[in-house]
Each structure stands twice: as C-alpha cells, then as structure tokens.
Structure 1
Amino acid sequence: MMIKLYLKKKSLLVGVLLLAGCEIGPDYERPKIDISENWSEKINQSAPFSEDIKWWKNFNDPVLTALIHAATESNLDLKVSEAKIAQSRSLVKSAEAGLFPQFSLSGALTHRQNSRNAYTSPQQSLGKRFYDLYRGELDTSWEIDLFGRLRRAEESAVASLDLSISDAHGVFLALIADIAQNYITLRSTQQQLRLAQKSYEKLDKLYRLNQDLQTSGLRTDLAVSQAQASRDAAYAKIFPLQATIQLLIHQLSILLGQEPNHLVKRLEEAKEIPTPPSSIYVGLPSELLERRPDIRSAEEQLKLKTAEIGIAIGDLFPKFTLTGSFGYESLKSSNLFQPRSGFFSFGPGVSYTLFDFGRIRANIESAEALKDQAFHTYKKTVLVALKDVEDSLVKLGKEILHFEHLSLSASSSKAAANLSLKRYQTGLSTFLDVLTAETAYYDNELNKILSQESVALNAVGLFKAVGGGWQSFMSLKHSS
C-alpha cells in the first residue's frame, strides 16, 4: 500500500514537472515568402558589406562624414530611440522577475483603544483597554508558471525590446540618409547659384555692350531692351536659390540636434556635389530580411503578437500560487524578537475564472487577429523593400546614362554660345541668336547639375534601400 501511494505521488510530481515545461499558445516561426534569386536591374557591385559598413565615406566628402558623425552623438530622434530601448530593457527585467518568488518586508506600531461594550480582543479579558501592538513581518508569494503564461509574457517583452532596437536602427538609417540627401541638395543648390550668378554677370556684360553699341548707333533700342530683360530675369533667379540654401542649412542643423543657424558659417561656402562610388554592393534579395531594419521590426512585431496569444490563452487555465509569511508580534517592544512572539503561515492557493460571459475567448480571438495583422504587415514590408531596391536600381542606372548625355549636350551648347557671341560681335548674327544660345547653354548646364544631384541622391537611396549603414551604430547593438 505504501509502495502504491509512493508511486502515485511520484507520478503526480513527474506530471507537474512535465506540465511546467510546456508553454501554451503557438511558437513563432518565420513566415516563408517566395523571393527572387536576383535583381532584374544590374549595376556594378562592390565587395559585400562588412560588419561596420559606413557607406557615406565612399562619397569622399570629409564635411559629410563629419556631419553624420556629429549627428550620431546629438540627434534628438536617436536619443528618443535610445530611451525607448532602455524602457524596453526594464520591461524585460520586470517580466523575468515575475517568474521568481516575490518578497516584501513590513513593520507597524499600532496604538489601540478597545470598546467597553464589545469583546474585540484577548487583551480586554485582561482588563486592558489601551495597548500598543508591535509587528514585523516578511511576506512571500510565488505564482507557479505551470502553463507558461509568464514565460510567454517574458517572450513578449524580449520581442518588444528587439522591436525597439530594430526601430532605432531604422531611425539611424533614415537619419544618415536624410543628412546625406540634404547635404547633396545643398551642394547642388550652391552650384545652381554659382551658375545663376555667372549667367547674370555674362548677360550684364552683354547689356553694357549693347548700350555702348547703341550710343555708337550700331544697335537699336530693341537689342538694349532685350539684353536688359534677360539680365534682370537672370538676376531674379538668384534670390530663391539663396533662400533654399539657408533652409537646407537650417534643416541640417536640426538633424544634428542644434539651433537652425548652427552650421551657417561651416556650410555657406560653395562646394562641389559629392560623387558617389562607381560600384555599390546590393547583394541578394533574400539578404534584405536581415539587413533592412523595417523588415526586422515587422518580424519582431509578429513575434510579439504571437507571444501575446499565449498570454491570452493563459487566462483559460487556473493560476497556482504559493504564499507565506513569517514575523514577530508583541505588546512590548522589549520582547518582540523572542521566540514566543514569532508566527508564520504557508500554503498553496489557486484561482480560476469559472464564468466570464466569453471575455477570455474574445481576448484570444483579438490576439489572433492582431497576429494576422502583423503577419500581413510583415509580408507587405518585405514586398515594399524589394520594390525599393528595384526602383533604386532603375533610377540610379538610368540617371547615370542621363547625366552622361547631358554632359555632352552641355559641352556642345557652351561651344555654340561662344560662337554665337563672336558672330554677334562681328555683325553676322542677331542679338536674339545670342540670347537663344545663352539660354540653351544655361538650361543644359542647369540640367547637368540637377542630374549630377540626382545620381548622388539615387545612390543614397540605394544604400538606404538595401539596408546599409545601421550596422555601424554599435551603441544600439545587443546580445541575445
């Protein structure tokens, strides 16, 4: 009989231990998505990304590199992201602590007056109406995670931490891309301003030449009026460009977490547009799943929502707890810690929701629906990422060809403008021919600058699309 009882107890213990190793709810599995093996558009590719890739250095612009380095230290969006990571880490610690017993210590001194008309305590039987009660107590409670609800809560907290880290990587990648794009646009606008100023100076000389020729009777009032109108129109183009330059400097200052005028002296001098590298590593489409921060964030969100299903299902099961207390209680402080003043209590507890009108089932269905939303969002994020890379490859490849042909056109229009001016000075062509040639030259040079800007911007867009750069932000890395 004793042997049978022992075997029953042992079987029960084994069953409880096996049950304690289970976790309710679905386990996370990465969704399978069919992805092409290669990109449809081809460009010159460099060597694969290293772990500490800093693609902006490939533009060989020390000012751009310095701006990005400064932004990593002072950008306010990054500081917000770091604070969110710290918050998520604290929530993970809180979830982990829930798996272990909780202890609390309390103490009290109570001065009491008993009623004369009611028996409320043993002290009244001794004739004591007024007395002091000293009490010190250590309490403990532990929810035994038999069904894995608390472990799912910990899993959810870890996924939330990974989500905040991936989001921070995305913020960093967007930041360096924004700085690079604003900086490139700034240098392009400065080149446009330089071109507009040169055009004005040239047209002003033509205006003065026509005035001199009019005085000599060699030109009509029409030529002078045409020259003046062209000169004034060229001068008017300068002011919007100057305003754009100031606005871009203000924006770059804000990206660095500084006042709008912080970078004026540093950036007001015109510089050439940064030249992107001749080859960029794009990698394989499947590599985006690990490189793109937004895809990683979407996957962590899916992990989180999967774990929350288990948390919701956990409410269907009873909750088992162990509680206990130990302490001392006495009417006198002098004998509070004597053995006779001690007391303790210990015992298991269980709570179970018997009937809730379908509330728990509804919460489970809601959690499952949220997981489905996260699943479809993940798939869409992957598809959008693939589109971003394909679009960037097309735009960069075609813009390079566009720039090459515009360069040829600009050279030809420059020669035509010089020839037209010489013919006008010798009386072989009209001033309208000169204006037409000068306008064509200005337009071609402007388009060349804009195309050069687009090549650089599209290169930045491609770096961003393939998810390069956030790996270098070491302060946001964490170990699993």
Structure 2
Amino acid sequence: MSPLTRRVAAALYALGLAGCTVGPDFHRPNAALPAQWTASAPQTPGSRLVPGDLDPRWWNAFGDAELSSLVERVATANLDVAMAGSRLLQARAARRMAGAAAEPAVEGTTSYLHARSSQHGLVDISGLNGKHDYDVWQPGLDASWELDLWGRVRRQLESADASVEASADLRRDVLLSAMAETASDYIRLRGVQAQQAIVRQNLELARRSLALTQRRFADGVATHLETAEAAAQVSAMEAQLPGLENQRVRLVNALSFLLGQPPGALAAELQAAAPIPPAPPRVPLGLPSELAERRPDIREAEARLHAATADIGVAVGDFYPRITLSANLSLQAMRFGDLDSWGSRMFGIGPALSVPLFEGGRLKGQLALRKAQQQEAMLRFQRTVLGAWHEVDDAMSDYDARQARRDKLAAGVAQNQEALDNARRQYVAGATNFLDVLTVQTNLLDTQQAWVTSSTDVSLALVGLFKALGGGWETSFPVASNGRAGTPVEAATPTTSHGTKATRTE
C-alpha cells in the first residue's frame, strides 16, 4: 500500500469515526402514573393492601410449599416459555447479523480456470493466439468496509439492540403469565377439593337424616313425604360429586400441561386434598413508578418505541451518500508452481461512492412509514401504561370486595350451622317438621359452597393483583443456550439495565 493510499484510508477512517448520527435520538417516554396507589386503593376496613416493597417471589406469600414448587418448576418446563426463549435467541442472532454491517468484511477466494481463446476473436489474454489451452490460478483476499459517516449503521444496531430487549421482555411476559396461570389453576384445584369435602360432609348428614326419617316412618311418626324428601336430598348431593370430580381432573391436567407433561402426570402429587392457599394478612403494593420497570408489557412497548425511533435514523441515512472502502490482494499465474513468485502478486484498493439520485419516491415513502410506525409505537406505549394502571386499580378493587364477601359468608356459615343443629334437635323432639330441617341443611350447604368459592376468589384476586403489578420474573429464570429457561439463579436489575439502555443515544 502506497503512502498516499494509507493517508487516504486513515483520513476516511477518522471521518467515519467523527461522523454524526442522523435521525432523532431516543429519549425515554414518561409513564403517566400516580405517585401513590393509596389514592385509588379501596378504603374498606377489610382491605389489607399496604405500602411497601413488592416481594418478587410473590407466590411464597401464600405459604403453600406445593404452590411455590409448581410455580418455580413451570419456568423450566413450560413450552410457551421455551418458545419465547427461542424467539429471544433468534433476536440475538439477528443482532449479531446486523452487527456485521459495522465491521470490515474479508473473504478468501480461490479460482482455477482451464480455457482456450478464439483464434478469430478479441485479444487472447493468454498470449497463445487461441492455439493451445491454458490454465489460470488465482487465490486471493477481498475486503470491504462501509464507512458509517452518517450513523446509518449505528442506528441499525441501536434498533437491533432494542428489538433484542423487546424479545427479552416478551419472554418475561410469557413467563409471568405462565406463573400466574399455574397459581390460579392450583388455587382452583384446592377450591374444588374443598367443595368435594363439603358436599361429602353434608352428604353424610343427609344420609343420617334419611336413616332417622326411615326409622321414624317405621315407627309411624314420620310420613312417606318426609322420607321421599330426605331421599331426594341425598340424591341431589350425590349428583354434585361427578361434576366436581370432573373439574378436579381437568385442573390437574391443566397443571400438567403448564409443566409440559402428559395428562394426569401430577395426579398422584396432587391427589391429597389441601387447604385453599390463604391470602396473607398484609400485601405490599410497591410504588406506581416501579410499574414501568417491572411490568414486561410496558418494558416491551418502550423497547419497541426505541427500535422504531432508531429506524427513522436508518431511513434518514439512506438519503446520504455511502462510501465503501474495498481492497483486493491476490496472486495470479498460468502455472500453479508460479504462484509463489513475487511477480504473480496483484492488488487493488480504493473507495467507492454511491449517491442516491432518483428513487421514485421510495426513500421519502420509507421515511414517512418509519415516522408513522414510531407514532404508533408511542401510542401503544401510552395505551399499555394506561391499561396497566387500570388493571392494577381493578385488581385492588376485586381483592378488597372479595375479602368483604368472604367474611360475610363466613358469618353466614356459622349462623346456618347453628340453625341446622337447632332444627335437628327440634325435629327429633317432634317440635318441627322435616321440611324445616331440609331447608336449613340446604341453606347451610349453599352457604358453605359460596364461602369456599369466595375464599378461592380472594386468593385468585390476589394472584391477579400480583400479575397486574408485574412481579415474579426479576429474581430467576435466565435463558440457556438452547432457549429453555434455566435454574432460578439470575438476579436481574431492571431499573438500571433497562433504564440505561433506554436513555442511551448513539
């Protein structure tokens, strides 16, 4: 390389490093959220929502070891999470491909040609006048590098980085949904098992009432109507058991599916009944300002906006000239043995300039498209933040209202139990008819089932609240090289990593 060529290359390289970056710089959008949740949180006496830091491992708040085990296992076994992890690996691979545009490209080539030129054609480069065959051996290296004078390539890399972050947040969203669905199905399963226990307990009481009525009928004290009513009540309660068993089987299958296992795989593990996981006495909510850092859908929307902003810079860069520095170093000889001769060397180096002159409006249309896409991404971000705020507010209201309903039903169960005990004593003493006993027992069963349903709903509402707050993915579950989630050892720092990345300008 001649001194002049080296100076030109050095000057072009320095110009590339000092070049500007076209297009708008990304600035993190403001998430319009309240300063405190307490302004919108329900204020009824039964509310247990309090200020404080949200526990990322929210499933442990229920104090159920089986629930915690299932939720943590779903991260490594769930197929939806695995597919989202695979999409993240694809995004990382695409980022590496985009990054190649910023680096020089070097290609090794080797060619061999056996030919004969025409005796009546143009000049024979072999010098044999077309009378003999000849060989041409030519190994070499070709290199090219686009000088990113205007920052177009840097904007492409910025967009690719943001797309990787969006894919990571999408995976977190899938993971959060899978964990919440696992917790919800498990709570429903325990609720169904509690319903089965209540029906069996009441069925035993109904059978005792039927036996008592049959004895009284044999003694001539009870009527045939009372005996038929007692038998009908037994049949009605027995009819509830197949439906509840079907619900139990389906929920076990749903949990097995979430863990990537065949139907019934968890049947033995979940066969024994257990109490409905209770809500804790206090539920810290965290700060609204943390929602934009914690909720994966908000983080994804922000990353998509970042990518759309960078794409505008790419579109603007297409209006500017492109300078590509290329070089070739090779050997050429008509005999293989001459390739090591100094005279066989050949090289070429120099810049190439490409200037867009007429594109038929393509570049302007592409720029308008990118700007419109950025506007859509901004609106999507605003909608996502607003939707998250609504979800949290609705979830707090649901949690508070369901607690109040459960507490009222608990009092009703106690009152109906007392009423049934009194009615049975009065019936044995002959002070009332059997219809009153049936009515009170039916009311007790209905109230007990309503209380179980309400208790289940309270815990489900809390799961919904935790999901709305976006917690759960921060403490665990990295992506392994195969796209599957790994063991829960990763400690993420979303505020620092995401915030720094979002505010970075190229």
Structure 2 length normalisation: TM-score? 0.89
How far apart are 1:328 and its partner, in Å? 0.5
Of 391, 394, 413, the residue aligned with 2:394 is 391
- Tell me the equivalent position of 2:180: 177
1:435 and 1:236 map into 2 onto residues whose CA distance is 17
Instruction: Give the structure 2 partner of residue 57 of structure 1.
Output: 60
Matched, 1:17 2:4: no
Q: Which residue number corresponds to residue 3 of structure 1?
A: none
Which deviates further from its counterpart, 310-319 or 113-122?
113-122
State the alpha-carbon separation in 2 of the partners of residues 122 and 361 from structure 1: 47
Compute the displacement of 1:201 (Å): 2.0
Q: Within the alignment, does 1:135 sit opposite 2:138 as a pair?
A: yes
Q: Quick one: percent identity of the two aligned structures?
A: 33
State the alpha-carbon separation in 2 of the partners of residues 247 and 375 from structure 1: 41
Q: How does 1:465-480 map to 2 (within 5 A)?
A: 465-476=468-479
Among 374, 378, 394, the alignment partner of 1:375 is 378
Post-superposition CA distance 1:395-435 (Å, at most 9, x none): 11122122112111110100101111111111111111011
Aligned to 2:165: 162
Distance 1:164 1:379 in 2: 19
Contact in 1 for aligned 2:194/2:273 (Cα 8 Å): yes
| Counterpart pick for 2:211 among 208, 212, 215 | 208
Of 342, 346, 369, which aligns to 1:343? 346
In structure 2, C-alpha distance between the alignment counterparts of 1:366 and 1:119, rounded to whole Å: 51
Contact between 2:298 and 2:385, CA under 8 Å: does it hold in 1? Answer: yes
Other-structure match for 2:34: 36
- Map 1:237-386 to 2 at 5 A: 237-386=240-389
CA distance in 2, matches of 1:123, 1:29: 63
The count of aligned residue pairs is 469
Most deviating of 253-262 and 118-127: 118-127
DSSP-derived class of the 2:232 partner:
helix
Task: Confirm or deny: 8 A CA contact 2:95 2:161 kept in the other structure.
Answer: yes
Alignment of 1:435-474 (within 5 A): 435-474=438-477
CA 1:112/1:210 → structure 2, altered by over 3 Å: closer, same or farther? same
Greater shift in the superposed pair: 110-119 or 95-104: 110-119
CA apart distance, 1:445? 0.7
Deviation (angstroms), 1:468: 1.1
1:118 corresponds in structure 2 to 121
Deviates more, 1:269-278 or 1:82-91: 82-91
The amino acid across from 1:231 in the alignment is V
Aligned amino acid, residue 41 of structure 1? A
1:214-252 C-alpha deviation (Å, 9 max, x unpaired) = 222222111111111111111111111100000000000
The 1:325–1:474 alpha-carbon spacing in structure 2 relative to 1, beyond 3 Å, is same
Distance 1:74 1:451 in 2: 31
The answer to whether the Cα contact below 8 Å between 1:115 and 1:129 also exists between their aligned partners in 2 is no
Deviation string 1:78-124 (CA, Å, 9 cap, x unpaired) is 21122122122222222222111100001112111322332352324
Query: How large is the Cα RMSD of the aligned pairs?
Result: 2.1
CA distance in 2, matches of 1:246, 1:456: 21
Return structure 1 stretches of 4+ with deviation > 6 angstroms. none
Q: Indicate the residue corresponding to 1:403 in structure 2.
A: 406
Q: Which runs of 5+ in 1 are unaligned?
A: 1-8
Match of 1:195?
198
Which residue of 1 is the match for residue 50 of structure 2?
45
- C-alpha distance in 2, partners of 1:197/1:33? 52
AA of the residue aligned to 1:467: G
Q: 1:258 to 1:92 in 2, by over 3 A?
A: same
Q: Check whether the contact 1:298–1:381 (CA below 8 A) recurs between aligned residues.
A: yes
Residue equivalent to 1:6: none
- C-alpha distance in 2 between matches for 1:101 and 1:123: 34
CA distance in 1, matches of 2:373, 2:440: 64
Number of the residue aligned with 1:4: none
When normalised by structure 1's length, the TM-score is: 0.93
Q: Secondary structure at the match of 2:353?
A: strand
Matches within 5 A, 1:415-454: 415-454=418-457
CA contact (8 A) 1:141 1:321 kept: yes
* DSSP-derived class of the 2:102 partner: coil
Residue 137 of structure 1, CA deviation: 1.3
* Amino acid paired to 2:152: R
Please state how far the C-alpha of 1:16 moved relative to its aligned partner: 7.3
Map of 1:106 onto structure 2:
109
- Bigger shift: 412-421 or 308-317? 308-317
**3-state DSSP of counterpart to 1:267:** coil
- Could you tell me which residue of structure 1 aligns to residue 234 of structure 2? 231
Give the drift of 1:363: 0.9
Residue type at the aligned position of 1:35: L
Report the residue type matching 1:365 in the other structure. Answer: A
Quote how far apart the aligned CAs of 1:383 are: 0.7
Structure 2 residue matching 1:322: 3-state secondary structure: strand
Stretch of structure 1 that moved more, 144-153 or 276-285 = 276-285
Query: For 2:126, what is the secondary structure of its paired residue?
Result: helix
Residue 151 of structure 2, aligned match among 148, 151, 169: 148
Q: Residue 395 of structure 2: SS of its match in structure 1?
A: helix
Instruction: Specify the code of the residue in structure 2 equivalent to 1:37.
Output: A
Q: Which moved more, 1:273-282 or 1:136-145?
A: 273-282
With 339-348 and 399-408 compared, the bigger mean Cα shift is at 399-408
Q: Give the 3 Å change call, closer, same or farther, for CA 34–73 of structure 1 in structure 2.
A: closer
Unaligned runs of 5+ in 2: 1-6, 43-47, 480-491, 502-506
With over 3 angstroms needed to count, the CA separation of the structure-2 counterparts of 1:122 and 1:30, relative to structure 1, is: closer
**Preserved contact between residue 64 and residue 277 of structure 2 (Cα < 8 Å):** yes
Question: Residue 86 of structure 2 aligns to a residue in which SS?
Answer: helix
